[in-house]
Every structure is written in C-alpha cells, then in structure tokens.
Structure 1
C-alpha cells in the first residue's frame, strides 16, 4: 500500500511561505496561553517552533520521537482513510507539506502545514494524546472494515479536532473551572479560538461517547456545539473500550443535528445560536 509520504522539501519554501507562517504563528501564540489547555501550551514550548520559519520536520522529530515515539511525515494533502489510519496506528502523523496563501489566513478547505503541525503536534508531546491517537488509528482501520467509519470519525472530530477540556485556572478570587482548547482545528484558527470558548453562540456540552457518535458536525464554518472532557485522561478510557456494543446500538436510533441539545446532556452553556442563524444553513454538515 502506498503510504503517500513525500519529502518535505523544506528548502523549497519561499520567503512568502515563511511570512505566512510567521503571521499565523504570532497570532496564535499571543492568543492561546489564555485559551488553550496547559498541555497544549507546554507542548508548543517544548518543540522547535518559532515565528522565524516553517518548521523542519526532521528537527521536530528529534524532539517528538524521544518524547512520545511519534514522528511527523510529509504528505501532499489529504490521504485515503486507510493510509491515514495506518500512519496513526504506527505513530506517524501525516502533515501537508504546503502552506496556505496570504489570502487564506482564516479559512482553508484542506489542512496545511500550519494546521497539521501547529495545531496537532504540540498535543502529541502529551503521553495521553500520543496514546489516544495511536489507538484511534487502530480503531479506524477496524471501523473501516466493518462499515462504522462515519460514527467513529465523529469521535475524532469532536475530540482531536474540535475538543474542549475542563481546567482549573487561577481567577481573581482563587481557583476556578474554565473550558480550554485542546482540539487542533480550534487551536490553529485565530477566529475559532475565541469563538469556541468565549462566544455566546455555540453549545458546550459534556462529552458522552454514544451522544457524540450520533452527532453530525459542521465542515464549512464554526461548530454549533463543542463537547467538553472532564480531563484529558478520559481519552485513554475512551480509546480502550469495546466499541462493538456501541456500534450495535448505533445501528438504530436517532442521529442528531449539530445544534441539538438533549434533555440528557450535561450542558456547560446552552448557546443562543446567533452565529449559526446569521451564517450558513444548518444543513451544511457531515451526515
């Protein structure tokens, strides 16, 4: 099977490419210490990431591999599901080797090197996320074989890409609970970083596996709902469960729209839906 890996060709990046990285990097590093979980921020500081230039994957791997056994491999863009899962199952994170243009700073259809490296790799320095994504890759290969990839993909979307986690932070009157970003789709987006944790529009709901696996998601705009983990350690419990009984239950029963709130949900914030109503239609989501 072709693994789709290619050389990064770091020397081929232009001055304009590095300038785009600099703009994106400086915006996010100024924003995320107040919005991202401490594990993300610590991972960001532990890696050879700077505003000066797009990272060299070889330099990243010199830190990442001794830390958690992961490595970043270059690919030309999105790869087939089986290839993606196989890479993850073997602790290889596939990253696009291209970067968006200066006219696409805030929205990109296909993940580029900023999303893949800045958004994902800091969390791969954390042992829990490192193990979870490998186990997810293994689960993905099996889900593909048995026709349950749609449901499992929703877990990845609402955790690795767009997950929030509770965290104790120091407030004006002492320790208090706050919601923080760990998902790469949020962490790599200047506009969604603030939206996900500060906007009154989206719902923020406690993570429950079967609920998440029944919930469609937005691919075209900000999420209408973010699911919140009590702790990052919950990811390992999630990855190690027997999915077969869950898949069996998912053969019947409802599928939920992205903006739905259920009576059984643990609601951290019931959003007012203002952003979703004023932008693209609710139907623009993955079934």
Structure 2
C-alpha cells in the first residue's frame, strides 16, 4: 500500500510537518476557551443582560418610524417614515434642549473628567496609610447615596429660604443666592453636585492603573534628581495614558447623556430654559403625554449622535498612536 506523506517522512527519518490552517487554529481557539471555561461562565450574566436589555430592545426603535398605536402593537402600527424626525427638527424647543444637553455635558466633561485623575495622583503620593484610607472612604461615600436623597440634601443646603449656606450669607450681611431657582446659577449647581457625588468613585479606575506602575521607574528618576512633579509628569502620566484615553473616549461617547436622574430631581419649570435636556424631554412627552413615537425619535437621534462621537473620538485616539476601545 502506498505510504502517506507523514509515514514516508517518518520512515526516512524526517520530521512530519503538521498542517496549519483554519481548522487547526479553530481547534486551538476552542482549547483555549475550554481551558478558561470558568471565566467565560462568569461573563454569561453580563452577556445575557446586554442581549436582553440592550440589543433585544433595539427592536423597539421601529416606533420612531411609525405612528404607534398601543392596541395595534409595533408591527401593526402604520409606517410614517421620517415624519417624526422632520417635525422634531422643526421645533424651536428641541434645539433648546439639544443645546442644554451639549452645554451641561461639556461642563461635566471639562470640570468633572480631570478631577478624579488629579485626586488619584495626589492619593498615590500619600504615604500615611491610615489618612489615605480615611480620605478614600470620605470621597467614595457620596456615590452610594441615591439622587433622591442627594436632592433632599442639596435643598436643605442651598434653599434660598431655609438652606444653611444662604443663612450663612445672610449672617455675613450678603444677599442670598438662588442656587436652585436662578437660571444663572442652576447649571453650576448641577455640575458641582455631580462632581461632588461621583469624582471619588471615578478615582478607583485611576488608582488601579497607578498600582501597575513599576516602582523602579520612580526610584531611577529620584536617583537622577527628578523632583516629585517631574516624576508625576514624566512617569505617572505616561504610564496611565492609555487608561486616560479610553475613559475619555467613553465619556465623549456619552455626551448626550447629561444626567437624567439628577436633573429630574432638582429641576422645575422655573429653570426649564437652562436645564431641560433630551432625556427629561423624552420622559415628559413619552410617558406623561403618551407621544411614544416622537419620544422614540428623540431617543434614537440621541443614540446616533453618541455613536458618531464615539467613533470619531476612537479614530482620533488611534490616529495619535493610542489603542482606543476597538
């Protein structure tokens, strides 16, 4: 019987060459998956969550292109195409809430994004462990307070009639400030309270990234005569640059989400002109007025803008030599 190539190679004392290709790489991939099967099992709840509550619900985006009738359902409702979008873009009110969303998101990005990084770097320089843990606990705590409770605290602190901050201003002979009632102060109050609540929690990611910096780099820089600020600028920041870029990309990709819970708790008709955002507008016209198709059109528009911003930010990051999020 004729011998195979492998048998011929073995009989002649040569090593057989194992063929490589898609089949071999596929077997290797499945072996890797099986080896780490428990880690993949831990991912299943998160995968199921996104499939059920994020991807499956995208089917409901059809409402934006239909005159939705609750009795007829999504498929049975008449198709109207881009009629809701045309009506939406013709409203002066929509462009006002769009502008409010952009302005509040930019404030949160400009003032809220750098602060966790600065705090994490400062905490990394603290050598007294007990003081460091105390500070971490104090700044992390507001994250676990819901916006309902936080709203009550802010009213008690900032109310123009009974807030203790305005009471201190009166005692000092100054005029009280309408932090929650004056349009010129309301956006600043929103951004400041958001930073107060969330900046401590956001430092966790940076603290984890800083823990991976090689201490020998600091020792070498210290021997070379670099002071503390030089070590931060030339070692700390470059070592965690990829983490900063990824978080910045994700933040830019959510620019259209200006904080529904916070604004819904704090705003009122007197400050709608400067605080009404896309999410609160969708809530009012969708749930309280029952205009589901128009609300879906607004939500879909917001999602498209977020996706476009994410793609552009990721492209810019990759063009600058960073890895990006994909």
Tell whether the structures are fold-level matches, with TM greater than 0.5. no
Report which of the two has the higher share of helix. Answer: 2
Report which of the two has the higher share of strand. Answer: 1
Larger RCO (alpha carbons 8 Å, 6+ apart): 2
Larger radius of gyration: 2
- Shorter chain as normaliser: what TM range? under 0.3
